[in-house]
Chains A and B, each alone.
Chain A
Amino acid sequence: MARKKQNQSIKNDFFGDIQSALGLPPDLVCRSLFVQGEQTVQCVYLESMVNKKTIDEYILKSFTENTFSEGEAPRSAESGFLREFSFSDPYEQLREHAVKALLAGHCALTDFARERVCLINVTESKQRSIEEPKSESTIRGPHEGFTESILTNVGLVRKRIPNPFLRFDKMNIGNQTGTTLLMVYMENLAPESLVREVRGRLSAIRTDSVLESAYVEEFIQDRIWSPFPTLTNTERPDMVAAQLLDGKVAVMVDGTPSVLLAPMTFFEFFSSPEDYYQRADIATFIRWIRLISFFTAVFVPSLYVAATTFHQELIPTQLLISLSAQREGVPFPAIFEVLLMEVVFEIIREAGLRMPRAVGQALSIVGAIVLGQAAVEAGLISVAIVIVVAITGITNFVVPVYSFGMSQRLLRFSFVLLAGFMGLFGILCGALFLVVHLVSLKSFGVPYITPASPSIGTDWKDVLVRLPRPWLDPNGLPGYIRNMKRKR
């Protein structure tokens, strides 16, 4: 009798309770099915989250063809995921399950006749198609990029490593968002200590929300006060696959195409997946170009300031005459000129990112030329400064990882200030400080400037030069990964 009464209350209140739990959402739909004039089944779902075709064709249709009491449990062709709760379960719990399931894109079938609630997965994830990542485009090599759907991303990695040792450890992080995180690694290749470390750091995250992998990165990175990233992020499945095969750990976050990779060392930021799609000599050449570009981007403005304001004797006479001619009539000291132009360049760059794409490029080019030329003509700056800023601006984009490019920008400004105050001595102090800092950095237990220090001879085969594949160890992991495995 009591149960009958409870059923009655469920019949009357269930939809209402859900409505109030979700705050009368506009996309909440409740469809009732009547068998012989009596309401037997209620189908509740959030219109925005589900595939209505599936509901219509596979769930509701089955009720019109068979009676629910006779047929099997409703089938969902695509989802294959069904959970049942009996009305005898505590009502609060029942409702909580139903609300969570609705939010995750399920539909809730309340079967009053058989006294149960079925939660059927009919999610239709809203996702874009697989495209080439914009910030990491390549000439040769795959043009696929990760999407915002974590399952698609898993598929993209699996496609490249169809190996039973590929592991995906699932976690949910964020009190409010409960975002799905996947820790990906090769069980046979990744050192256990590394996997344990990453898992430990991930499970220690206490936050309300995770909307992008950067949220996670900030929690698990080794040092906050450092311009250098100790993790990298990529949108390229081939890069993730390559790093996983090197024994590293990837962290995928639902809702973002950026996948984190750890550990990362300083020199690895100079290599790109494309290096392995080119012949060894070309790859080596490009790697050198990247190294030179890094030093150019960081040091050229500061060296210019130091040489022109403190150490004029270092400049060849002819160049000095020409530089000095350019500076005739310029009212500001060189450091001010450099800072002014660098800041203007950063502003143009930042504005270029936000501007509507249609006008962005044209406007930034025109802006740069007009600003540079006009400033020279107006006698605000000298021509050489425009060249210096242009060189540093271009070289800054050569490095394959965007976050590493950002650290170059920070370093450049600090070196310019040091050069402006103390000349080459200042640059030297800064460089020494930088070396000390780099040596003290670690990425998940791996010294940041491996294989330079600690020196690992075999790893040099793929640092400053990329030796041809036959000369590389066919199943070689990076030396530091091997060391971590050995320590176990």
Chain B
Amino acid sequence: MTNRYAAGLFILMMFTALLTACWDRTEMNELALVSMVGVDSDPESNKITVYYQIINPLSGTSAKGTSGGEQAPVYTYEISGSSFGEIKSTIYKMLPRKLFMAHCKVLLVSQRAAKQDMRDIVNFIEMQPNGRSSVPMLIVDGSISQVMRTLTPLERVPSDTIDSRLDLLIRNSLLVGKQIKVSDVIERMEKSDTIVLPLITGMTEAPSSNSGERSADIDANQNNFIIRGGAVFRDYRMAGKLNDTQLVWYHLLNGDRGRHVRQFQVEGKQVSVELRLVRIKREVFWKSDQPVVRIRMDLELSTAYTIESVPKSRNEVERLENRLNQIIADESLAFYQMIRERGWDLLSINDLLRKQTPNHPDIDQAAKNAQIEIRANTRLLRTGSMSQPYGGTR
């Protein structure tokens, strides 16, 4: 019995020799923790440049309790080559540690690279052994090398600032949608959807790479970057841009539920209203072989942030609601007209029709000719705490 037990144990132990064991062990101080990756490609020379922003663990407080002092929190390594494969190995000409992508938080792609073809970039990210495709992908409007070399205020690591800004924007505005991760891009591009990715822009021409100088500057706008606008993608290529106003309608019509405050002109007065989508319903019916897509949005309104004019009676509230219904419907429709002219199926009408009539001979054409009816139904739920904003004797 004991012998059998021992033999079993021995065989088990022999099997463990087949396993990858201590030789794939890596100590933490052998790793280069990549926090952000930037990709650029020059269409003329066909040269690819990859920026790796590596966290410097010794910046801030180190193990021995002494401060890292003036060391930069991140170092950006720039490496160029004719292919991504080549870059993978040539990076070690400069980098003394093993690239570790698992903690990469953001992927930036230059606008000119995005306009060519993103397939290679997406594949490059997917192929990283310890990489994650759940990182958001942003398009750089302007110079990518400038953004990759900008140190941001408050958050030591620039990728953290992008990550948390995206998070806050998703919740507190309708400027950024949820589906901006590399995996979403792949999934939706494979379905030939049109998608929008956030645009990021550097704010200075010559960013300071000295963290000491950076922290001494009070103006947070000076050396920073801003998330502004969206890049429209079709078939792995950037096809155009949306501005912030258009992004609001894009996200609203696609069912994003962030709160967004916007100023409307109602009966000659300015009113700031916070919008929140409660539900959206999209129906298709056919009118003499023409598809009609009816979109109905239920929105919650709040005038809590309004200081211009506050509705004071039931009548005023109703008037405001009706007026806003009209404005929202009109502006959304105008937005739709704009994207239809440019041939972007940003509302996934194509997909909607395909789901309803899978056997239709020419879905694409039908989608192009589809008539759209948008109806908004708003309800003012919160009017704010001030019935009469302070105005003095004016």
Using a CB–CB cutoff of 8 Å, the interface residues on chain A facing chain B are 308-310, 312-313, 317, 320-330, 333-334, 376-377, 379, 382-383, 420-423, 425-426, 429
Contacts and interface: CB of A to CB of B under 8 A. Distances in A.
B31 interface: yes
Interface stretch (B97-105, B306-314, B386-394): B97-105
Contacts of A383: 63
B323 to A, nearest CB: 47
A425 B22 contact: no
A313 B103 contact: yes
A328 B62 contact: yes
Nearest to B24: A310
B25 interface: yes
Interface in B42-93: 55, 57-58, 60-64, 68
17 contacts: A308-B27, A309-B26, A317-B105, A317-B160, A320-B28, A320-B103, A322-B57, A324-B57, A325-B57, A325-B60, A325-B62, A327-B29, A328-B57, A376-B64, A422-B19, A422-B21, A429-B16
B196 interface: no
Contacts of B105: 317
B361 to A, nearest CB: 49
Nearest to A310: B25
Contacts of A308: 27-28
A333 B27 contact: yes
A322 B61 CA distance: 8
A321 B16 CA distance: 32
B322 interface: no
Q: Which 8 A-B pairs have the closest CB atoms?
A: A313-B102, A326-B63, A325-B57, A324-B57, A324-B28, A327-B29, A317-B103, A309-B25
A325 B26 contact: no
Contact of A425 (B19, B28, B160): B19
Contacts of B28: 308-309, 312, 320, 323-324, 327, 334
B58 A328 contact: yes
Interface residues of B, number: 28
Interface string B1-35: 00000000000000010010110111111010101
A129 B245 CA distance: 88
Q: Looking at B28, B33, B68, B102, which has the most chain A CB atoms within 10 Å of its CB?
A: B28
Nearest to B22: A421
Contact of B31 (A312, A421, A423): A312
A191 B102 CA distance: 59
Given A376-B64, A421-B22, 9 more contacts: A321-B33, A323-B28, A324-B33, A325-B58, A328-B58, A328-B62, A420-B25, A422-B16, A422-B22
Contacts of A326: 62-63
Contacts of A426: 21
A120 to B, nearest CB: 54
A423 B24 CA distance: 10
Given A313-B102, A328-B58, A333 B25 contact: yes
Contacts of A313: 102-103, 130
A432 to B, nearest CB: 11
A114 B295 CA distance: 125
A328 B22 contact: no
Contacts of B160: 317
Contact of B63 (A320, A325, A420): A325
Query: Which secondary structure dominates chain B's binding surface?
Result: loop
Contact of A325 (B16, B21, B61, B100): B61
A434 to B, nearest CB: 14
A404 B22 CA distance: 31
A312 B63 contact: no
Contacts of B35: 317
Contact of B55 (A321, A328, A422): A321
Given A312-B102, A313-B103, A377 B64 contact: yes
A7 B88 CA distance: 109
Q: Looking at B21, B27, B103, B105, which has the most chain A CB atoms within 10 Å of its CB?
A: B27
Given A308-B28, A312-B102, A328-B57, A421 B63 contact: no
A423 B26 CA distance: 11
A320 B26 CA distance: 13
Contacts of B16: 421-422, 429
B25 A328 contact: no
A313 B58 CA distance: 19
Given A308-B27, A309-B27, A422-B21, A320 B33 contact: yes
A320 B102 CA distance: 11
B55 A327 contact: no
A293 to B, nearest CB: 27
A425 B62 CA distance: 31
Contact of B26 (A312, A330, A425): A312
Q: Looking at B57, B60, B68, which has the most chain A CB atoms within 10 Å of its CB?
A: B57
Contact of B21 (A320, A327, A379, A421): A421
Q: Looking at B29, B33, B64, B100, which has the most chain A CB atoms within 10 Å of its CB?
A: B29
A323 B61 CA distance: 11
B130 A327 contact: no
A162 to B, nearest CB: 47
A148 B100 CA distance: 63
A422 B24 CA distance: 9
B29 A328 contact: yes
Nearest to B35: A317
Nearest to B163: A317
Nearest to B101: A313
A222 to B, nearest CB: 15
A193 B60 CA distance: 68
A377 B130 CA distance: 33
Contacts of B57: 321-322, 324-325, 328
Nearest to B68: A325
Interface string B204-244: 00000000000000000000000000000000000000000
B27 to A, nearest CB: 6
A334 B27 contact: yes
Interface string B104-121: 010000000000000000
Q: Looking at A324, A379, A421, which has the most chain B CB atoms within 10 Å of its CB?
A: A324
A329 B64 CA distance: 10
Contacts of A325: 57-58, 60-63, 68
A295 to B, nearest CB: 24
B63 A329 contact: yes
Nearest to A337: B27
A256 B268 CA distance: 97
A157 B160 CA distance: 66
A333 B16 CA distance: 21
Contacts of A333: 25, 27
A425 B16 CA distance: 11
A379 B29 CA distance: 13
Q: Looking at B16, B22, B26, B61, which has the most chain A CB atoms within 10 Å of its CB?
A: B22
A323 to B, nearest CB: 6
B24 to A, nearest CB: 7
Contacts of B103: 312-313, 317, 320
A287 B62 CA distance: 38
Nearest to B100: A312
A374 to B, nearest CB: 12
B31 A324 contact: yes
A330 B29 contact: yes
B298 to A, nearest CB: 38
A312 B27 CA distance: 9
Contacts of B102: 312-313
A329 to B, nearest CB: 7
A305 to B, nearest CB: 9
Nearest to A383: B63
A308 B33 CA distance: 13
Interface string B147-191: 000000000000010000000000000000000000000000000
A197 B55 CA distance: 65
